[in-house]
Amino acid sequence: MASSAKSVVPAADLQSFTEYLRGCKRIVALLGAGISASSGLPTFRGAGGLWRSHDATSLATPEAFDETPGLVWQFYSYRRHMALQADPNKAHYALAELARRNEDFITLSQNVDGLSQRANHPVKQLHLLHGTLFNVKCTNFYCNYTEDNYTDPIVPALEIPKKSSGLNPSATDKTGEQASKAIGEALDDTSTEVDISDASNPIATVAREDLPQCPKCEDGLLRPGVVWFGEPLPEKTIRAVDKWIAAGPVDLCLVIGTSAKVFPAAGYVHEARSQGARVAVCNMDPNDTPGELHYGDWFFQGDAGVIVPEILKSVIGISD
C-alpha cells in the first residue's frame, strides 16, 4: 500500500507556493537560529535564550568580552562543542540542494554553527552575515591574525567538566545494575559532561592567561570570529549581497527561523521586497514576521526542519 504521510502545510498554501516557486529564478533565503533548533541548538530569544543566568545576546558584545573574557569564551566554547555534536537537519540539506539546482539562489545565514556548510551548501551561494564559531581572530588592534579552528576545546582550560564517574562500589545495589549504568555513562562521553549552560552547575573562573592567545603578536587574546552587536558585518559579504540584490528583480525571499529583529540582516527582506520579491516565512511563532506580511506572502507555521523540505519538494525532488 502506498504511504500517505500527512502534510503539515495547509494544502492551499502549499499549492499556491509550489506553483509560484516553479517559476522563480532569483531567490534569496534569510536564515536564523530557528533552522538549527531541529538539530538541537538553542535560539537567542525566547525559551532557549538564557545561558546560565545570562541573556545570550548580552554575551554577544565586545563590551562583555572586554569585561569578562573568560565567561564569554566559556559561552562560545560550549557553543562550538554543541555545534560539533549536532548534525544538519533536513532543512539545511533541502536548501543546499536548492542551491545546487539553482545558481541564482543565495542564502544569507545569521547562524554561526557551521551546519549549512556541513550539509554541503555550495559555498559561493552561502553568505555568513555574522561570521562563524570556527574562526578566531586576534583582539589586538594592530594585529590581523585570524585562523580557522575546529579544535574542541580550543584550549584545555575551556574543556567542559565531567560529572564525577560514580564508579564507587554501591553498598545497596546487589545486582550490579547501578555499576553497569555508571560504566556505560562514563564510556559515553557526552552524557558525563556537566551541563554548564545550567547556572545551578558551578563552573570555575578561567584566568586570562589560560584563554586562547594570539600566536602571531603574542600579545592579544584570540576571540571568536563572529559579529557582535555594534560591530560591522564582514565588508566583502555585504558587498557581494548588495551586488546580487541590485543585479535584477528578486522573485522570492524565504525567511526561515529568525525573529528578524537584528539589523542589518533583517533589512535584506525589505531590500528583496523593493526588488519585487514575494516573501515566504517559516517560523514556529506567528508573531515573528519581518514587519507586516503583504498580500501574496506566505506564512508556514511550524518546525523548519519539517516545513522547509516539504515546501521545496516539488523543485528539489527530495523530502525524506
Question: How many of the other CB atoms lie within 10 Å of CB of 176?
Answer: 10
**Residue 28: helix, strand or coil by DSSP?**
strand
Stretch that binds ligand BJW, among 30-38, 119-127, 180-188, 201-209 (CB under 6 A): 30-38
Is 217 annotated in a binding site? The answer is yes
Q: Which is nearer to ligand BJW, 33 or 196 (CB)?
A: 33
d(CA 181, CA 176): 9
Interface with ligand BJW includes 116 (CB under 6 A)?
Answer: no
Supply 35's cell numbers: 533552522
User: Quick one: which segment of 139-147, 166-174, 242-250, 284-292 binds ligand BJW (CB under 6 A)?
Assistant: 284-292
C-alpha cell at 127: 553568505
107 binds ligand BJW (CB under 6 A): no
The answer on whether 253 is annotated among ligand-binding residues is no
- DSSP string for residues in 160-221: PPBPP---SPPSS-SSSHHHHHHHHHHHSGGGGB--TTSTTS--PPPPGGGS-B-TTTSSSB
Q: Pick the piece of the chain touching ligand BJW (CB under 6 A) from 119-127, 141-149, 164-172, 226-234.
A: 226-234
Q: Out of 161, 218, 285, 286, which residue is the one contacting ligand BJW (CB under 6 A)?
A: 285
**Residue at 267: amino acid letter:** G
**Under the criterion CB under 6 A, does residue 229 sit at the interface with ligand BJW?**
yes
For helices 267-274 and 235-246, the axis angle rounded to 10 degrees is 20
Q: Pick the catalytic residue: 127, 130, 270, 294? A: 130
**Of 265, 267, 268, 290, whose CA–CA distance to 280 is shortest?**
290
d(CA 133, CA 113): 6
Q: Please check if 138 is assigned to a binding site.
A: yes
In this structure, how many other beta carbons lie within 10 angstroms of the beta carbon of residue 122?
15
Site for ligand BJW in 175-204 (CB under 6 A): none
Annotation says 130 is catalytic? yes
* Among residues 14, 21, 27, 37, the one that binds ligand BJW under rule CB under 6 A: 37
The one-letter code for the residue type at 159 is E
* By CB under 6 A, residue 130 contacts ligand BJW: yes
* Nearer to ligand BJW among residue 66 and residue 231 (C-beta): 231
Q: Which of 211, 214, 255, 304 binds ligand BJW (CB under 6 A)?
A: 304
Under the criterion CB under 6 A, does residue 50 sit at the interface with ligand BJW?
no
Q: Is 40 a binder of ligand BJW (CB under 6 A)?
A: no
- Confirm or deny that 143 is annotated as ligand binding: yes
Terminal C-alpha separation, the chain: 18
Residues that bind ligand BJW (CB under 6 A): 32-34, 37-38, 43-45, 57, 60, 110, 112, 130, 226-232, 257-259, 261-264, 282-285, 288, 303-304
What are the catalytic residues?
A: 130
